[in-house]
Amino acid sequence: MDRLDTLLQRFSVSARMFHAGALCGITEFAAEPGLGQLHLVRRGPIGVSHAGAPEVRLQAPSLLLYPRPLAHRFDTDPAVGADMACAHLSFAAGGTNPLADALPAFICLPLADLDGCAGVLEVLFDEAFQPRCGRQVLVDRLFEAVFVFVLRRLMDDGRIEHGLFAGLAHPQLARALTAMHERPAQAWTLESLAAEARMSRSAFAAAFRDTVGTTAADYLARWRVGLAQHALRRGRPLKLVADEVGYGSEAALSRAFKTWVGRSPREWRRTLEAEASGAVAGTR
Residue stretches of the chain with pLDDT short of 70: 93-96, 276-284
Domain end residue (candidates: 157, 188, 206): 157
CATH number of the CATH domain containing 40? 2.60.120.10
184 in the same domain as 256: yes
Distance CA 94, CA 71 (A): 18
C-alpha distances out from residue 87 to 14, 81, 143, 177, Å = 10, 19, 7, 30
188 in the same domain as 145: no
**Residue 213 corresponds to which amino acid?**
G
Q: What is the pLDDT of residue 281?
A: 54
Instruction: Say if residues 36 and 99 touch (Cβ distance below 8 Å).
Output: no
105 in the same domain as 9: yes
Q: What is the pLDDT of residue 248?
A: 84
185 in the same domain as 111: no
Q: What is the pLDDT of residue 99?
A: 87
151 in the same domain as 17: yes
Q: What is the pLDDT of residue 161?
A: 86
Number of structural domains (the chain) is 2
62 in the same domain as 35: yes
Domain end residue (candidates: 124, 157, 190): 157
**Residue range of the domain that includes 138:** 5-157
Q: Note the pTM of the prediction, 2 decimals.
A: 0.88
The DSSP result for 37-51, as a single string, is EEEEEEE--EEEE-T
Instruction: Could you list the beta-strand ranges (E) of 3-152.
Output: 13-23, 26-29, 36-43, 46-49, 56-58, 62-66, 72-75, 82-91, 107-110
Q: What is the pLDDT of residue 95?
A: 55
193 in the same domain as 268: yes
The answer to whether residue 167 sits within a structural domain is: no
